[in-house]
Amino acid sequence: MTTATQCIFCSIARDTANPDVLYRDDRCFVVRDINPKSPVHLLVIPNMHIASLAYVGPGQVPVMGHLFVVAEEMARRENVTLSGYRLTLNQGPDAQQTIAHPHVHLMGGRQLGDMG
């Protein structure tokens, strides 16, 4: 299991001077995906390392719910609010999650295919 000290998203969270961070507050931060799948492809990432959504309970609602508020704000900044966008949160192998620190993908700027 990836620990917070090994986690790439935790290291970005700790680096408060990282110029790649588009948005930051006390609960989350936003970066562009390093390998974008659409013209707009952002990652909304909680500051806190949570190894799995299995560990998310009522105590994490203020953080997890906040990700969606920030995602909508970022969609507005990226001018995709009206054209539309997709929010995706992958969990586990079948979803092809590669980084074990929850994050919401915000994708837009093109016609997105079927979910599959």
* 69 lines the binding site for ligand 5GP (CB under 6 A): no
* 33 lines the binding site for ligand 5GP (CB under 6 A): yes
Sheet (strand 40-46) strand order? 23-24, 28-32, 40-46, 104-108, 85-88
Alpha-carbon Rg of the chain, whole angstroms?
14
* 29 lines the binding site for Zn ion (CB under 5 A): no
- Which region, judged by CB under 6 A, interacts with ligand 5GP, from 31-39, 60-68, 72-80, 107-115? 31-39
49 binds, among ligand 5GP, Zn ion, none (CB under 5 to 8 A by kind): Zn ion
| Residue whose pair of structure tokens reads 């620190």 in the numeric block | 101
- 71 half-sphere exposure, CB direction, 13 A CA radius: 24
Of 101 and 105, nearer to Zn ion (C-beta) is 101
